[in-house]
Amino acid sequence: MDTSPLTVSFTNNSTNATTYLWDFGNGNVANTQTVTDQIFNNSGVYTAYLTVTNGLCMDIDSLTVTVSEEEPTLYVPNAFTPNGDSINDIFWIGATNIKEFHIIIFDRWGLKLFESSDLLDSWTGKVNGKEVPDGCYFYLLMPKILMIKK
């Protein structure tokens, strides 16, 4: 998901085609082998199609383009207290419009305690079922933000 307005480049990888029909889903069409970048001005989900033919043979390919009004955000807590009182008991990363995500949590000696590539995962402050002691822990966070073109 990217924010509007969004410019998208399209590449035709077909071979031996003699006719081309592009429908970008944004109101634009083309009948050439190569096309110019397309602009999607409004938020929404668009499907772009390329139909190619060679005599009686035909092939169609499609691509979904999702455009949002919302900028990517990332929320990382600065502390948590896994003491069972149901308040700040988990270390959870909040995010919107993040395409990929990876986090690793280490203790002060560099020992890996937790690792995940799922934004729905959270760390409970336990390793192998045992609570780690109070202290400072470090994380390496690698979000891949959706490309924003303005």
Calculate mean pLDDT across residues 85-95.
89
Check whether 90 has a pLDDT greater than 70: yes
Residue by residue, DSSP assigns 71-107 as: PPEEE--S----SSSSSS-SB--EEESEEE--EEEE-
Task: Give the range among 10-19, 67-76, 102-111 with minimum mean pLDDT.
Answer: 67-76
pLDDT of residue 67: 86
The Cα–Cα gap between 59 and 50 comes to 8
Give the tens place of pLDDT for each residue, 17-67.
999 999 999 999 999 999 999 999 888 899 999 999 999 999 999 999 988
Give the tens place of pLDDT for each residue, 121-140.
999 999 999 999 999 999 99
pLDDT of residue 101: 84
- Beta bridge partner(s), residue 7: 39
pLDDT classification of 146: cutoffs 50, 70, 90: low
Cβ atoms < 10 Å from Cβ of 83:
12
From 150, 137, 96, select the one nearest 119 (Cα to Cα): 96
